[in-house]
Amino acid sequence: MAKYWIESTERIMDNLDCSSEQKLEGVVSLLRYEACQWWLIVKEGTQLERLTWEFFKTTFQGKYGDRSVVEYETKFLQLSHYARGMVETEYERYVRFEDGLRDTLRVLITPQKERDFSSLMEKAKIIEEVKHVERQNCDRERGRNKRDSKPSSSVQRPKKNARADGPVRAGLLVIATGLQLCVDCGRRY
């Protein structure tokens, strides 16, 4: 998500012929809440000449990038060897790992009662897969809606009915999250 946000923002700024300095100013003005606070801390601890558009992109991607849960788990376990005092107990490992998850995953995991580290990692992987399938379904639907709404001639054709090869099903993964599919909008609640 972060990568796409940066790319689309940069594309817009390129279309407006913005310089690198203007891109940095523009994108910083778009940051909100946690991201804004994060940038203020990064900016405060960085030499002025290093505060460039390229530095922002790299740093932002490092913080908010779309790292997979598997990649995050691997890095977390590697780094936990150097910080044994911070992740000494199962509960501390759980809390630290959960805090490092992307917000979109954390909000779905936090309400659950289980506080077991290995269960947390597995649930995070399942939820990530469900989110991935949802994104694929949304992208597919967007593509269909564009095709269905653009007539190829002066006479508008009726919309096509849903096909058997419709949205990808997540099977048991959807059940594991406890989210229900809304029949009106197609989102999970």
Any idea how long the chain is? 189
The reply to whether 49 falls in a domain is yes
In which region does residue 148 sit, left (phi positive, over 0), alpha (psi from -120 to 50) or beta (all else)?
Answer: alpha
Residue 105 per-residue DSSP state: H
Long-range CB contact pairs, 10-16, < 8 A, 24+: 10/57
For residues 97 and 61, is the Cβ–Cβ distance under 8 A? no
The reply to whether 130 falls in a domain is no
Residue 19 per-residue DSSP state: -
Question: Would you tell me how many other CB atoms lie within 10 Å of the CB of residue 121?
Answer: 21
Residue 166 CB partners (closer than 8 Å, separation 6+)? none
The reply to whether 122 falls in a domain is no
For residues 120 and 93, is the Cβ–Cβ distance under 8 A? no
Q: What's the domain range around 29? A: 2-64
Question: Would you tell me how many other CB atoms lie within 10 Å of the CB of residue 93?
Answer: 20
User: pLDDT: is 2 or 20 the higher one?
Assistant: 20
Give residue 82's pLDDT: 80
Residue 64 CB partners (closer than 8 Å, separation 6+)? 1, 2, 35
The reply to whether 101 falls in a domain is no
Q: Residues 7-59: pLDDT tens digits?
A: 889 999 999 999 999 999 999 999 888 888 889 988 888 888 999 999 898 88
The reply to whether 106 falls in a domain is no
Question: Would you tell me how many other CB atoms lie within 10 Å of the CB of residue 134?
Answer: 19
The reply to whether 168 falls in a domain is no
The reply to whether 24 falls in a domain is yes
Q: Residues 173-185: pLDDT tens digits?
A: 444 455 566 666 6
Total domains, the chain: 1
Position 169 pLDDT exceeds 50: no
The reply to whether 109 falls in a domain is no
What is the C-alpha separation between 147 and 174, in angstroms, rounded? Answer: 28
Q: What is the DSSP string of 47-103?
A: -GGG--HHHHHHHHHHHH----HHHHHHHHHHHHTT-TTTS-SHHHHHHHHHHHS-H
Q: Name the one residue in this structure whose structure tokens are 């597919």.
A: 140
Q: Residues 96-108: pLDDT tens digits?
A: 888 888 777 777 8
Percent of the chain whose pLDDT exceeds 90? 13
